[in-house]
Chains A and B, each alone.
Chain A
Amino acid sequence: MATHTTKSHPFHMVDPSPWPIVATIAAFTIATGGIWFMHGGPPWILIAGFAVLIVSFFGWWRDVVNEAQSGHNHTSVVQHGLRVGVLLFIASEVMFFFAFFWAYFNASVPLINSAAHTTWPPEGITPFHAWGLPFLNTLILLTSGATVTVAHHAVRLNDREKMVFWIGATAVLGFLFLGLQAFEYHHAAFGLTGGIYPSTFFLATGFHGFHVFVGAAFLTVCFFRARAGHFTPNQHVGFEAAAWYWHFVDVVWLFLFVCIYWWGSAGYHGPAGH
């Protein structure tokens, strides 16, 4: 590769790449395999699609990391563009959750929908006690928001040992949250097919849980990149993206906790008929 002295602009002209088409083939396989599976077929095509998707993620982002490490592709202007891109992506994610919150309030608030349930949770639903496990999970996520900020300070001070530790701690807290959520799901007093309450509960908290998984995986990648010395005080877009994503996941959880776990269980007065 020749020098880059002839380039007179600060932008990154990316080489042709096989990963977009590979990832699309994976997505197409997941879609068709998923449909087949939902209509009684075997799961193998779906699983194969996910496998190819993971391979393409790995290949694509390995390329991005290599480009970032090359030293001249990710100029400060390119870094700025990447940050704006991450913020826009998070904005679209907010609107995705907006749909599930809409479904939830549409079912539970008669003030905005005359067909909503007048008692919430609906008859026959025993909700979780908000100040038990859900509150513990709230504390875990809030703590992880603090630890990722400590890590950010360490990145800016170029303190590698400290940043590795605190990024790792944040990821561990994320996975701990997921473990507790799995435990909670396992002990739910209602099943997915039990009507509108479980529908909104499992889809909203489930998609949040999936986003926690994505964020924790992202932080895990950052953990290894931090150990490899990829993050400098002037260039750490990957970590910043993970941190912003993590804060987004955290804020969504606060809304879930307040609206679904806390307010959503306030109307519960013991088992029906007692």
Chain B
Amino acid sequence: MAYATTAGHGEHDDHHPTGWRRWIYSTNHKDIGTMYIILSLVAALIGGVMSWMIRLELAEPGIQFFDNTQFYNVLVTAHGFLMVFFVVMPAMIGGFGNWFVPLMIGAPDMAFPRMNNISFWLTAAGLTLLVSSAFVGEGPGTGWTVYPPLSSIAYHPGAAVDFGILALHLAGAGSILGAINLIVTVFNMRAPGMTLHRMPLFVWAILVTAFLLLLALPVLAGALTMLLTDRNFGTSFYAVSGGGDPLLWQHLFWFFGHPEVYIIILPAFGIISQIISTFSKKPVFGYLGMAYAMCAIGFVGFIVWAHHMYTSGIGTNARAYFTVATMIIAVPTGIKIFSWLATMWGGSIDFKAPMMFALGFLWLFVIGGVTGVVLANAGIDFVMHDTYYVVAHFHYVMAIAAIFAMFGAYYYWIGKMSGRQYSERLAQIQFWIFFIGVNVLFFPQHFLGLGGMPRRIPDYPDAFAGWNMVSSVGAAITMVGTLMFYYIIWHTFRYGKTAEANPWGEGATTLEWTVPSPAPFHTHEELPVIGAGDHGHGPLHGGVQPAE
């Protein structure tokens, strides 16, 4: 193959930096993607330990550990921020997006390799600020939604909330630059014949995600800036005393926040499509429908934000509109679910670990999606709002669903990234531990929520004791599954068998499987040519081959 040999002469293309400069100064999409994944693994440990502490506190009624209940609030806040901004987004978009968008479209790197680097470092700087914020003064006990007046200078007088604001500013700037990079890469660097309608669905998913990032994050930046000036320079955007309006924050936050949950789950959609197609040994059913369903979800995601605000005093007409608009999302989402099922239908399914996690994803996402349709009703949500039903809903639909997609992606691509294959037996065990753990952890929270247990409170009436104990036992099982994943990473690098270029066989038809494992420092320096009839999922035979 041409890939391994063309590097070695020429100009700075083949410049292969070594030592610390290779990483710190990196302009290589694979190295930057790897750094993103490592950052995500570190943040996941911190955020995971926090959730573990939360479940330990909630295992029984009464206060077990947090005499300082503000610290409990700080943990809840930091857990949310860490998982959303510093675990899922860096791993999916910065990590797998960086690694595999160029590989899958036949591009030699990202469009702006140097900007790619600052996207990562700004994320790292944001992570540092966010973790610091928990240890500054009273910490930010505002929840990840940072609603004023709780987040105002009157109720959080220390610097902690300002640390949080600037953490999001830095990470957000990094994400906007990363989004620009990904969009330009997809639009401008596809190999000859790789038309938009032949791109693998993972690339489509990242493209739509990048547009959501590009358009949603600046609105958060504006809202955060106004919060910063309200807190420190005496403006009145959210202060009723100066003629301002706390609801303004909620509107701006959720105008960003709802697209944000699709930013988290769309890359998961892409990963799941690749995995299910590969292990069913069939092209994805309804390829174009799948691609445009993601576009539709992305678009509708911008016009449903106030379903997070049904109890905030918005008008009846507004609640009616947002109920209807929200339910419309179930249509393109249903297209995706049924197309995944139809992809498996009649396929020769290989239940390898990535496929197991994809199936787990379907289970979790459907449960979370169904409770989402329940909560979309303003009338029902009026009762359920701020209860554990909501906590169960969003952990199912975006949190653990996304984590399952990330685990699946890791097992799917680690051979390509590291050159070593994971242990199938360990991965299967980890799947079952984790799958049982998260369901025992979150399913009972539906019952707690229906019973009226409020979220974000470290104590609760004795009546809720039973299911809370079950939930905490589930958390213990989940923690075992999580730690086992870290062990499997170590095991892969220490004992993993050498991975073939394509370990998955005929089902794996996308371009990353045409390059050696581990993928060389530079790939696709000879642009591949994609044949007609091949849409990144079709049979590879003759369709995708390196150019002369």
Contacts and interface: CB of A to CB of B under 8 A. Distances in A.
Contacts of B118: 19-21, 23-24
A107 B188 contact: no
Contacts of B131: none
Given A11-B109, A16-B25, A31-B169, A107 B244 contact: yes
Interface residues of A, number: 69
B122 A24 contact: yes
Nearest to A41: B159
Interface string A86-106: 001101111111111011001
Contacts of A233: none
Given A24-B121, A106-B248, A197-B243, A85 B180 contact: yes
Given A16-B17, A103-B226, A89 B180 contact: yes
Contacts of A5: 10
Contact of A6 (B9, B184, B244): B9
B215 A193 contact: no
Interface string A105-139: 01100000111110000100000000000000000
Interface string A2-25: 111111110101111111110110
Contacts of B215: 91-92, 95
Contacts of A100: 222, 226
Contacts of A92: 176, 179-180, 214-215, 217-218
A199 B242 contact: yes
Nearest to B219: A99
A91 B217 CA distance: 11
Given A85-B184, A96-B218, A192-B234, A102 B248 contact: yes
A24 B125 CA distance: 7
A115 B245 contact: yes
Interface centre among A3, A8, A113, A114 (most CB of B within 10 A): A8
Contact of B219 (A18, A98, A194, A202): A98
A164 to B, nearest CB: 29
Contacts of B326: none
B112 to A, nearest CB: 7
Interface string A181-210: 000000000001111111110110000000
Interface residues of B, number: 83
Contacts of B448: none
Q: Which of the listed residues A11, A27, A115 has the most CB atoms from chain B within 10 Å of its own CB?
A: A11
A39 B162 contact: yes
A27 B124 CA distance: 12
Interface stretch (A76-84, A150-158, A171-179, A265-273): A76-84
A63 to B, nearest CB: 8
A85 B522 CA distance: 23
A4 B11 contact: yes
A36 B184 CA distance: 38
Interface in B219-242: 219, 221-223, 225-226, 229-237, 242
Most buried by A among B9, B162, B230: B162
B27 A27 contact: no
B166 interface: yes
Nearest to A94: B218
A218 interface: no
A27 B21 CA distance: 20
Interface string B117-150: 1100110110011000000000000000000000
Q: Which 6 A-B pairs have the closest CB atoms?
A: A99-B222, A193-B234, A6-B10, A20-B118, A16-B25, A24-B121
8 contacts: A2-B9, A11-B107, A13-B109, A24-B124, A27-B122, A28-B170, A31-B169, A36-B159
Interface of B: 6, 9-13, 15, 17, 21-22, 24-27, 107-109, 111-115, 117-118, 121-122, 124-125, 128-129, 158-159, 162-163, 166-167, 169-170, 173, 176, 179-181, 183-184, 187-189, 214-219, 221-223, 225-226, 229-237, 242-245, 247-248, 251-252, 255, 315, 522, 524-527
